[in-house]
Structure 1
């Protein structure tokens, strides 16, 4: 069973209300006059007028200018990047982190030639390099400006990207940039990963990205062709040797085997690869497997960068209970105290009825539910069926109700025996289904937008596990009572409906999935298209 690394991180998401309110105007901190030359860690202070002159000459945007003012107000204009001996050591730590970010993200917009020269000088021999006194103020303010620019890029993501244009309705995380810089200073640049506002999954994907850059540099990613429909145990082919080598590179095979025979070791490697890519684990080498193996290395690199960008939008790890549905994985992940407890297969919306990406709070369990048929389905499907067969409603256990149509509770109900509600404007919820066969399919995008669960009773038992009034027997009885019953969850449980086509699971394995709704393609156009 594939597992999403506490991934997700995502999820303090839920603790932010899903709304479209405009961000509040940045509030500049008042000047802290308690900091003086006598109690400051150094005796270097800058002049506020000189800072304002720098801001004006650099034509800094309002928000960035306000952050700089706020940062220095909180320090009473004490220098941050210098002390009496010269450039502070953590300046090198920051510049090194920025250089690493530029290297793996391929984002050259942060490159600053003057600060790069400073970085090179500090790296070559920090004991000898001194910034000339006439350049000290400019270097100080340049470092602060650059840190805020870097922090936005590396920790928040490209602010020019409108998430809702991409069908993403989970609010961006909020990040205290000034607090980050204070942490860098107070920790002297040590152990930056301990206070960076990045979830664990981001750094796991970054590690994989660096591996793929290595594969690209080695130039061992040529397309592999096969001469028959599929290969199985015992078959021999030159292509099999190439596949063995590719599976060794991707970590699916433990040894680099150059023989041309399809043996049991290759069978295990093929199944391992199929599991990571969400393919049917039949151990056969056919078109589905070759399609994934032969995707260009640059396409995989971009897929990793796209999902890392999404991870920047999300808060860090959480120690709370929550549910995560990853649409491209067709899977629901259940987290208890921030740790993956278990997961199950789900069916999500078809391409024509795509499931919305958003977050909410699970509030109700509804046993033996009615299905209030959406007007769109009534108009497009039920009314034409009624014209062909006037007994359609009776045959499908439906009735007219409050000007609409609903299906009565029971085993034939389209929602099955239980549904789970997290109130939202998209009318999306989790539910059981009488159609169990679809859960065995590798691709499971078949619904009208709601999410069908392979193990609904197990989820009900989990959500009610702390309520002694709800035993397994009572849950089973309520599901089969044929009478609708609402149960309110207290406390509510955060739910995230996410979209991730690349992630690292709890076993440290990199997973890829198809871009079933085209969201990767849209984001790629914004990230990689040259303007």
Structure 2
């Protein structure tokens, strides 16, 4: 027994010696390059450090063919509207040659090349996932708090080992159909550009109307044929009774061309009348290069926003003047909207619809109160009674309008009571945000017939809003109760049992489900600033 006890210390010593030997062997297995990677990555991007830690500090870029494959993949980012030159693909092979020489380089220099090249990779992935440009740098009111998911470094490590760089890009770019359709539209317009673009229509003396005979008609026909307008090929020939095919007069503005122009006008939010006037002519003569830039701008905006979307959400397309409600079963309800004027812009934001207000009162926002309403009251005190507006203190007490100096009214609130003249109509759809905007009904239904509808004070007026209310409630009994409340005229807040995400965003280029590209006027003058930022050379 005593001999067994005496063996225990010896066993402990042997185990310790074996453990130290294994530790020493592990240390010897770490190459000087790997040690340099551990050392240098500590002061760099945390994602970069996590990427190499996932690989147990194995280098990525030793083989020149891996570097070449990566450089080739970077050139494909042009298809996402990004500038491949930002990532210096053509300089990578030379940088590899300088670092590795004949195969034996300084570990510190090799680690620096490794980390710099992997930083390029991670930068490209980040730009694909969430955009190159910081939206808050362009708009301090940007209010979209949802971040895209963290990069899957394990999957990325497998992709780079297999040189599947384009697959790594595909994994992070937005997967939602609007982004994919914009990419397809960009490819189509880049191809048009490479083929020489489209013709420029000559100046017109007056208007070009259906049935006119004009030298500009062949240019118009070719311009629309280039972008794939259907019906034009069929209009090139006519079947006569003797079954012979003859070409129509190329200078005649015929019916097929008229229909193509009307479709073009509708997509570009122009008056749909088939008449080529100054606005339609200007839209037709925008060079293809500018349209390519417009698509690139809107791909960037889409990268800012389209990630982590639930099955059900409301999407407000500000520049396109429409709202869409995406339902879990795949159905999409759409309607026309009115948005803010250029000097009272509807903001971009992401929130959740929490409740409805039936028969709302309208507390007039400070800017509208100061700039629009108070001057009218100052000129005519009867404006208050005619518009059913009460004057309140900040504590909610009612004030006598005759006791107020309307040149300097001080701290007051103006509240319009519910009723047929209330600009919020029968119902308001509310969601928390710092801009005090919401979706609402309106008594001014005639505004929805306009093609361009940036005429509100910032909030969003919705056509057929009660249908949206019914869909949001998803409950026939509750909707019936709300209809009764509307009829009674009582102001009431109605909570939603399940909150519905809502996104307000600004797109000046859009691709429909059939692939048709629409370009909208840049009503808030945001495109040029974003394009300048997108094209600004990247400092890596």
Q: Same fold (TM over 0.5)?
A: yes
Corresponding residue for residue 233 of structure 1? 210
Q: 1:245 to 1:253 in 2, by over 3 A?
A: farther
Contact 1:44/1:79 (<8 A) preserved: no
Aligned counterpart in structure 2 of residue 522 of structure 1, from 529, 532, 538: 529
Q: Which structure has the higher relative contact order (CA within 8 Å, separation 6+)?
A: 1
Corresponding residue for residue 364 of structure 1? 355
Contact 2:185/2:515 (<8 A) preserved: no
User: What does the per-residue CA deviation read over 1:321-367, in whole Å, with 9 as the maximum and x for residues that have no partner?
Assistant: 11111111111111113845121111111112111111111111111
Deviates more, 1:177-186 or 1:420-429: 177-186
TM-score computed with the length of structure 1 as normaliser = 0.79
Q: 1:290 to 1:194 in 2, by over 3 A?
A: same
Contact 2:389/2:417 (<8 A) preserved: yes
The CA deviation at 1:482 is 1.1
Corresponding residue for residue 144 of structure 1? 118
Mapped partners of 1:328, 1:477: distance in 2:
35
TM-score computed with the length of structure 2 as normaliser = 0.78
Are residues 1:457 and 2:495 paired? Answer: no
User: What does the per-residue CA deviation read over 1:128-176, in whole Å, with 9 as the maximum and x for residues that have no partner?
Assistant: xx99643696675554333113213333322566445365332473352
The CA deviation at 1:295 is 1.1
Q: 1:339 to 1:225 in 2, by over 3 A?
A: farther
Mapped partners of 1:75, 1:490: distance in 2:
47
The CA deviation at 1:52 is 4.7
Mapped partners of 2:536, 2:122: distance in 1:
25
Alignment of 1:141-220 (within 5 A): 141=115, 143-158=117-132, 162-165=136-139, 167-171=141-145, 173-179=147-153, 181-182=156-157, 184-185=159-160, 189=164, 191-192=167-168, 195-200=171-176, 201-220=178-197
Aligned counterpart in structure 2 of residue 470 of structure 1, from 459, 478, 481: 478
Corresponding residue for residue 441 of structure 1? 450
Are residues 1:101 and 2:77 paired? Answer: yes
Contact 2:232/2:257 (<8 A) preserved: no
The CA deviation at 1:49 is 2.3
Corresponding residue for residue 513 of structure 1? 520
Contact 1:419/1:432 (<8 A) preserved: yes
Alignment of 1:21-420 (within 5 A): 47-52=33-38, 62-64=43-45, 66-80=46-60, 94-102=70-78, 105-113=82-90, 115-116=92-93, 133-134=103-104, 141=115, 143-158=117-132, 162-165=136-139, 167-171=141-145, 173-179=147-153, 181-182=156-157, 184-185=159-160, 189=164, 191-192=167-168, 195-200=171-176, 201-255=178-232, 257=236, 259-316=250-307, 318-337=309-328, 339=330, 341-401=332-392, 402=396, 403-420=412-429
Mapped partners of 2:496, 2:103: distance in 1:
64
**RMSD, matched Cα:** 3.4
SS in 1 for 2:52: helix
The CA deviation at 1:289 is 1.3
Corresponding residue for residue 428 of structure 1? 437
Q: 1:315 to 1:439 in 2, by over 3 A?
A: closer
SS in 1 for 2:488: coil
Contact 1:368/1:480 (<8 A) preserved: no
Contact 1:461/1:475 (<8 A) preserved: no
The CA deviation at 1:276 is 1.7
Q: 1:320 to 1:160 in 2, by over 3 A?
A: closer
Q: 1:338 to 1:281 in 2, by over 3 A?
A: farther
Deviates more, 1:439-448 or 1:288-297: 288-297
Q: Which runs of 5+ in 2 are unaligned?
A: 1-22, 237-248, 397-411
Mapped partners of 2:34, 2:143: distance in 1:
41
Deviates more, 1:135-144 or 1:496-505: 135-144
Contact 2:347/2:458 (<8 A) preserved: yes
Aligned residues: 471
SS in 2 for 1:105: coil
User: What does the per-residue CA deviation read over 1:206-238, in whole Å, with 9 as the maximum and x for residues that have no partner?
Assistant: 222232223223334343124343223221112
The CA deviation at 1:407 is 1.4
